[in-house]
Amino acid sequence: MTDQQYKERIAKAIAHYKSMEQFGSSMIHEVKWQYADMAKGGNGGDLGFEERGETTCRGINYPGYPDSFFQEVCDLMMWDR
């Protein structure tokens, strides 16, 4: 992933999660936990299904994403880690 793609994906994530917060989505609490976990090198938890041999949030939705991606989203969203 290029630096520009990385920045675009962070911006897209921020916009999406700000919208979720604005509209009171109940999922935002789980997303905060998942991102905080993945920022520390975790897998974001099991999603309860398998895709491409993966079962975790990180494995299914964010293959290859570095911890720094999740850390930056947490920092920009001002989420506690």
Give, in order, the Cα–Cα distances in Å from 63 to each of 18, 31, 38: 23, 16, 11
Helices 3-22/28-39 angle, 10° precision: 150
For residue 33, what pLDDT is reported? 95
Per-residue model confidence as pLDDT tens digits over 24-73: 888 999 999 999 999 999 999 999 999 999 999 999 999 999 999 999 99
For residue 14, what pLDDT is reported? 95
Identify whether the C-beta of residue 16 lies closer than 8 Å to the C-beta of residue 9: no
Q: Domains of the chain: which residue ranges?
A: 3-17+28-77
For residue 34, what pLDDT is reported? 96
Going by C-alpha positions, the residue among 11, 14, 30 that lies closest to residue 22 is 14
For residue 23, what pLDDT is reported? 86
For residue 81, what pLDDT is reported? 46
